[in-house]
Amino acid sequence: MSQTLTSLLEVSIDFDQSHLFFPKLVVTLLAGMLLLIAVIHRARLVEIVRTRGAGLAFFEENADKFRLFSTVGLIVIYFVSMDYVGQLFPNTGLGFLFCSIAFIAALSLVYVHEVTRSVLLVIACNALIAPLAVWYVLGSLFDITLP
Amino acid sequence: MKRLISGMRLGVCALAAAVAMQAAAELPSNIRVVIGSKSTGGDTYQSSSIVAEALSEKLGVNFKVDATGAPAAFKAVERSRSSDGSTIMVFHDQAYLGVLYGQKGYDDPFANYSIGPTFAINPGNAYLVSKKSPYSSVEQIIDAAGNGETVRVAIQPGGVSEIGYSALKNAVKLKYPGKEGNLTPVNTGSQDSKNQAMFDGLADVINGSVQSNEQYTRLPADDQKAMSFVWLTAREQTIAQANEDGMGKTTRADLLKFVAPNVQVPMAEGQDFTFDKEFFFLYNKDIDPAFVEAIDKALGEIYAEGKIQEMQKKSFFIPNFKPAAEARTYLKEKNDRIADVINAIKG
Amino acid sequence: MDFISLLSPEYFLLAAAGSLVGIIFGAIPGMTATMAVAVCLPLTYSLGLHEGLALLLGLYVGGISGGLVPAILLNIPGTPSSITTTFDGHPMAQRGEAERALKICIVSSLVGGLFSAVILFLFAPLLSDFAIKFSYVEKFLIIFFALTVIASLSSNMLVGIFSGMIGVFLSLIGTYDVGVGGNGEYRLMADFMVPYLEEGFSLLPVLIGLFGLATIFLEAERGAKDEVGEKRIQLTQGTPFKLNVFRGQFVNMLRSSSIGTFVGMLPGIGGSAASVLAYSQQKNFSKDPSKMGKGAPEGLIASESANNALTGGALIPLLSLGIPGDSTTAVLIGAFTLQGLQVGPLFIGENLDTWYSMMIGLVFANLVMFGIMFFAIKHIAKVVMVPKYVLYPIIIMMCVVGAYAINYGIMFDVWTLLIFGLFGYVAQKIGLEIAPLVIGFILGSSAEVYFVKSLESFGTLSIFFTKSPIAIVLWLMIAASVLFSVYLALKARRNSKSRAIEV
C-alpha cells in the first residue's frame, strides 16, 4: 500500500522538457477552474444564452466613447511616432521629447471639458514644460536611455 | 616673411585641425553600448563601463552602457541604423558558445555580426568542491568518474559556465572511454543557486568564480559553507598578469596553483584545456569601416597610455587588447577549438 | 572606533541627497529603487568607498519608500513592492485622507527600515546560516504561502484564484530562463511572437499597465470629469492624522517588519512577496478583516513596514554571503567591486570600518527619508487636486519613461504597457480580479522554478512534506492561512445574507 503511494507521488522530469511541465500544469488547472466556474454559475450562463446577451453591457451607461477611443488611438500614435522619430535622432531622446509634447497637448485637449483661454494656457505650458523637464533631468542629467 | 611663415603655420594647423575634425565627425555623437547581460552588478557591465569611460574621454563622444541582455542587444545591433556605429555591443565568449550549445536566441556571431576588438579577460572562471568533499583535485574527480562514481557538477547550462564541465567530461572520456556519463550536470542558474546546490548536497563540484567564491575558500573546514578551488580555467599567462595581491587574501601565486599545467584537464594528446572569458565588441554586419578603424585606433592609444590597465587590474580584469581584424581570427580559432571539445562528448 | 573619523560631512550630505533622489525615483510610477541605484552607480567611481556607499544606501531606502506616494495618490504602485499599499491607500485618498494615509505609511516605513537595520547589525551572520537552509523546496513553500494571499484578497474566491492562475500563466510566457536554472526553451508563444516575447513580459510595464493605464481608460470612459462642488476631494476632509492610529498596531508592525526582513534575506524570493505576505497575515489576524482593502490604516502599516524592512533584510545575504537578496542589492555588488572590495562570508570581519559606516548610512538614510517625506507631504498630497486633463497625460508619459528605461531601452516594454492597460480594462469589465492576477504574475515564475527544480532534484512529490522541519512549519502556516481565509469568506457570506434578511 505504502509502496503504491510512493510510486504515485514519484515524478521524474527530464531537464530538456522541463520548460513544459509547469505550463501544462497551469493550463490544466485553468481549464478545470473555468469548467468549475461555468458549472457553479450555470444558471446565469443559461440566462445569458436565453436572452442572447441582453442585459450584458460592455460599456457603461452613457460611456464617453469619444474620450475612450481617442485615448487608445492617441497612445498608439504616440508609441509608433516616438519610435520612428527616435530613429531619426539616435540615442538623443529627441523622439521622446517631440512626441511627448504633441501627445500631452492632444490628450489634454481631448480630456478638457470647459475650454477657456486660461485653461488653454495651462495645457500649452504643461505640454511644453513637463516633457522638457523629464527629458533634461532624466535623459541628460541621469543619462537614462529614452526613445 | 616671418609673418608669412607664421601665417602658413596657422593655415596648416587649421587644415590639420579640420582634417582631424572631419575624422571625428564621422563618429555619431552619442554611442549606445548594449551589453549581453541584464545585470549592472556583473562583470560584463563593469568591464564595459571601464572601456566606455576611456573611449568617451579619448574621443569626446558620449558612450552609454545599457544592460539590455543578450537577445535585445543582438536585435539592437542588427537594426540597419546601427551600421554607423551609433549602437554597438559588448559581450564575451557566450556570443558563440550560445550557438555551439544550441541555445535559443543566438545566431552565429561570425556570420551575422562584425567582430570588433577584444579588450579584457575575466580570469575568474573556477570550479570548486566542498572542504568536506572526498575530492580535492581535478585528477581525483576524473578518476572517481572513471571508476564508476557519479560526480555531480553544478553549472548554468549553455555557455561559459558549462564549458569547463564539458572539458572535464571530455577528459574523463579520454582517460576512461565510455565512463564520461558518470559526470552529470546539475543545472542551476545564478551563483547563489550553485552554492546552494552544494550546501544542499545536490552537487559535488560547482562552477563559480574567484571573485565571488574566494572568501568561501578561507572559511574554516568545519563551516558547512567552506569550499576550495580545484581548477581555474584561465591560461597560466593570463593569471600571471594579475596584480600580485590576487583577490582578497588569495595571492597570485596561490591562484597559479590551480591553473594548467599545475592542474591538468587533458583535451587531446599532450594538450591541456584552458579557457579565458574574453570581452569584445560586436558591430552591425555592415559597419562603416571608418568607424571600426576609429575605435581600433582610439583603443590602441588608450592601451599605449597604460592607465586603463591599472583600472582593469584593480577590478580583477586582465587587459587584453586586440584590434578588430586580429580579434576576429583569434576568436574564430577559439570557437573551432571549443567546438571540437563539445562535439567530442556529444556522441 | 576609528571609523568615526571616516564619516565626513560629505558622507551625510550624500546619504541625504541619495535619499531625496531615491524618493523622487520611487515616487515616479515606473521608476524603481533599482533604477535609481543603477543610474547613480557611475557617480560612485569618483567618490570614495564610504561616500559612494552612503549615496547608494540613501537611494535604496528612498527609492523603496517613495513607491508609496503614487500607490496612495494615483493607485499606481511606484515600485512592485508597494502594490499592497494601493489596496488601502487609494481608498483613503479618495475619502480625502491622502495626507493621513501618507503619514501612516511614512511612520511605518521608518519603523520597518530601522527594525531591519537593527536585525542586520545584530544577527547578520547568524541569519545567513539560517537562510542557506532554505533549498528549492522551502523556497517554493514560501512562494506558495505568499500565493495563498489570493484567497483572502479576492471578493469571490473562485474567480480570484482563477484570476491568480491567469497571472501565473502570463508570467510563464517566453523563455524558461537559463539564468534561474531553466533550459532556455521557448513556450506558450507562437513563432511570430518570439522576437518580442523571447524574454516574456517585464514585470514593471505589466504592473503600471494594469494599474495605471487601465485606470485611465476607465476614467476616460466616464468622461475624465473633474469632480466639482461638494464631491470634490478636500484635503482636509476625513480623519486627520494622529499618532494614536498606531495604538494596538505594535504586533502588526513587529510581525510585518519581521516578515519583510526575513523575505528580504532569502535570495531569489522577490521583494514584492514581503509586503504581500505581511498584508495577508495582517488580514488573518485583524479584528475586522472586512475593512481591509477599503481604507484600513492597519493594511498600510503592514504593507509599508514590510517593504521597508526589505532593505536591511536584503543586505544580510549580500554582506554575509556575497549574494544579493533582491535586484537592488545586486546592483550594489557592482559598487563594491568597483571599489575593489569583495563581499562574501568574511566581509564583515575583514572590513569592520565599512560595515559600521554602512550601518550608520542605513540608519541615517532612513531618518532623512522620514524627515523629507513627513514635511513634504502637505505639498505632495496636492497631486490629487490637479485636474485630470493635466494629470493623466503626464502620468502616461511617465509610465512610458519608466517602461522604456526598466530594461535599458526596449520599445516592446512600452507596448507591453498598452497591451496590459487594455487587458486590465477588459478584465475588469468581464469580472476578473486585478489584484490576484498581479500577485500571480509577480510570483508565478519563481513558483515555477522552485517547484520544477524540487521535483527535478528529488523526483517525488512527497519531498515537499518530508524535506525538513522548516517545510513542515511552512505547511502548517499555509494551512492555517488558507483555513482562516475560507472561514472569513464564509462568515462574510453569512453576514451579508443575514443582513439581506433583516432588510
Q: Does C314 touch chain B (CB under 8 A)?
A: no
Q: Determine, for residues B105 and C132 on separate chains, whether the beta-carbon distance falls below 8 Å.
A: no
The secondary structure of chain B, three-state, reads CHHHHHHHHHHHHHHHHHHHHHHHHCCCCEEEEEECCCCCCCHHHHHHHHHHHHHHHHHCCEEEEECCCHHHHHHHHHCHHHHHCCEEEEECCHHHHHHHCCCCCCCCHHHHCEEEEEEEEECCEEEEEECCCCCCCHHHHHHHHHCCCCEEEEECCCCHHHHHHHHHHHHHHHHCCCCHHHEEEEECCCHHHHHHHHHCCCCCEEEEEHHHHHHHHCCCCCCCCCEEEEEECCCHHHHCCCCCCCECCECHHHHHCCCCCCCCCEEECCEECCCCEEEEEEECCCCCHHHHHHHHHHHHHHHHHCHHHHHHHHCCCEEEEECHHHHHHHHHHHHHHHHHHHHHHHC
Residues of C in contact with B31 (CB under 8 A): none
Give contacts of A83 with chain B, Cβ < 8 Å.
Answer: none
Residues 105-134 of A with CB under 8 A from B: none
* Residue range(s) defining the domain that contains residue C202: 2-502
Instruction: Pick the residue from chain B with its C-alpha nearest to C324.
Output: B192
Domain segments of chain B as ranges: 2-122+277-344, 125-275
Using DSSP's 3-state secondary structure scheme, residue C8 falls into: coil
pLDDT tens sequence across C270-306: 778 889 899 988 988 888 888 888 899 999 999 999 9
Residue C136 and residue C181 in contact, taking contact as beta carbons nearer than 8 Å: no
CB contacts, 8 Å: C407 with chain B: 38, 68-69, 72
Q: What's residue C7's pLDDT?
A: 77
Nearest CA in chain A to B28: A90
**Chain-chain contact of C187 with A23 (C-beta, under 8 angstroms):** yes
User: Given this structure, which CATH class describes domain B125-275?
Assistant: alpha beta
Place of cell 486660461: A118
Q: Taking CB atoms and an 8 Å cut-off, how many pairs form between chains B and C?
A: 135
> Is A37 close to C389, i.e. CB distance below 8 A?
no
- In the chain, the amino acid numbered C36 is A
B65 CA: distance to closest CA in chain C (Å): 9
* Partner-chain contact A18 C183, CB within 8 Å: yes
Query: Taking CB atoms and an 8 Å limit, are B196 and C408 in contact across chains?
Result: no
A101 contacts chain C (CB < 8 A): no
What's the structural domain count of chain C? 1
Taking only the tens of pLDDT, chain C with its 503 residues reads 566 776 788 899 999 999 999 999 988 877 888 888 988 888 887 888 889 999 999 999 999 999 999 999 998 888 888 889 999 999 998 888 888 999 999 999 999 999 999 999 999 989 989 999 999 999 999 999 988 888 877 878 889 999 999 999 999 999 999 988 888 899 988 888 888 898 899 998 999 999 989 999 999 998 888 766 555 556 666 677 888 888 889 999 999 999 999 999 988 777 788 898 999 889 888 888 888 888 999 999 999 999 999 999 999 999 999 888 888 888 888 888 777 788 899 999 988 989 999 999 999 999 999 999 988 888 888 887 888 899 999 999 999 998 998 888 899 999 999 999 999 999 999 889 998 999 899 899 899 999 999 999 998 899 999 899 999 999 999 998 888 888 888 887 787 777 666 54
Q: Which chains touch B (3+ CB pairs under 8 A)?
A: A, C
CA–chain centroid gap for C46, Å, is 31
Distance from CA of B185 to the nearest CA of A (A): 10
Cβ contact C108:C279 at 8 Å: no
**Torsion angle of the four alpha carbons C183, C187, C192, C194, in this order, in degrees rounded to the nearest 10:** -30
Distance between B42 CA and the closest CA of chain C, angstroms: 7
**CA nearest to C431 within chain A:** A58
What is the third-level CATH fold of B2-122+277-344?
D-Maltodextrin-Binding Protein; domain 2 (3.40.190)
Of A106, A79, A94, the C-alpha closest to A131 is A94
Could C346 and B66 be called an inter-chain contact, meaning their C-beta atoms sit closer than 8 Å? Answer: no
Q: What is the pLDDT of residues C258-268, one digit of tens each?
A: 999 999 998 87
When scoring A62, A108, A111 by the number of chain C Cβ atoms within 10 A, the one with the most, hence best to mutate, is: A111
Phi, psi of B109 (to 5 degrees): -70, -25
Best residue in B27, B29, B56 for a mutation probing chain A (most A CBs within 10 Å): B29
Put simply, the answer to whether A22 touches C172 (Cβ < 8 Å) is yes
Q: Per-residue pLDDT averaged across B187-195, rounded?
A: 91
CA distances from residue C229 to C92, C98, C220, C221 in whole angstroms, order as listed: 20, 19, 20, 21
Instruction: Please give chain A's pLDDT, 147 residues, in tens.
Output: 456 767 778 888 889 999 999 999 999 999 999 999 999 988 888 888 888 766 677 887 788 899 999 999 999 999 999 999 988 888 889 999 999 999 999 999 999 988 899 999 999 999 999 999 999 988 888 888 888
What's the pLDDT score for residue B23?
47
Chain C residues lying within 8 Å of B69, measured CB to CB:
199, 407
Chain C from 338 to 367: CB within 8 A of any B CB: 338, 340, 342-347
Burial class (CB in 10 A: 0-12, 13-18, 19+), A63: middle
User: What is the per-residue pLDDT across B157-167, written as a single tens digit (0 to 9) for each?
Assistant: 999 999 999 99
How far off is chain B from C73, nearest CA to CA, in Å? Answer: 31
Closest residue of chain A to C166, computed from CA coordinates: A30
Contact B193 C181 (CB under 8 A): yes
pLDDT, tens digit, 9 for 90 and up, residues C438-484: 989 989 989 999 999 999 999 889 999 989 999 999 999 999 888 88
For residue C266, the distance in angstroms to the closest alpha carbon of chain A comes to: 23
Q: Which of C337, C347, C404, C406 to mutate to test the interface with B (most CBs of B within 10 A)?
A: C337
Domains B2-122+277-344 and B125-275 share a fold: yes
* ipTM, 2 dp: 0.92
Contact, A55 vs C207, CB < 8 A? Answer: no
CB atoms C222 and A64 under 8 Å = yes
Mean pLDDT along residues B222-243: 95
Tens of pLDDT along C200-250?
Answer: 999 989 999 999 899 999 999 988 887 665 555 566 666 778 888 888 899
Give buried/exposed letters for A97-123 (b at 16+ CB in 10 A, else e). Answer: bbbbbbbbbbbbbbbbeeeeeebeebb
Least Cα separation, residue A52 to chain C (angstroms):
16
**B223: which chain C residues are within 8 Å (Cβ-Cβ)?**
345
Whether B69 sits inside 8 A of C347 (CB atoms) is no
- Sorted by sequence, the CB contacts under 8 Å of residue C16 that are 6+ apart come out as C58, C364, C365, C368
Q: Which of B320, B334, B308, B239 minimizes the C-alpha distance to B279?
A: B320
The answer to whether the Cβ–Cβ distance between B189 and C198 falls below 8 Å is no
Between CA C495 and CA C489 the distance in angstroms is 10
pLDDT tier, B18 (very low <50, low <70, confident <90, very high otherwise): very low
**What is the dihedral sign for C-alpha C343, C349, C350, C355?**
positive
Asked if B32's CB is within 8 angstroms of C179's CB, the reply is no
Q: How far apart are CA C35 and CA C43, in angstroms?
A: 14
* Chain B residue at shortest CA distance from C183: B157
Among C135, C345, C457, the residue with its CB nearest the CB of B225 is C345
CA dist., res. C138 & res. C271, Å (int): 17
| Burial grade of B56 (CB within 10 A; 0-12, 13-18, 19 or more) | middle
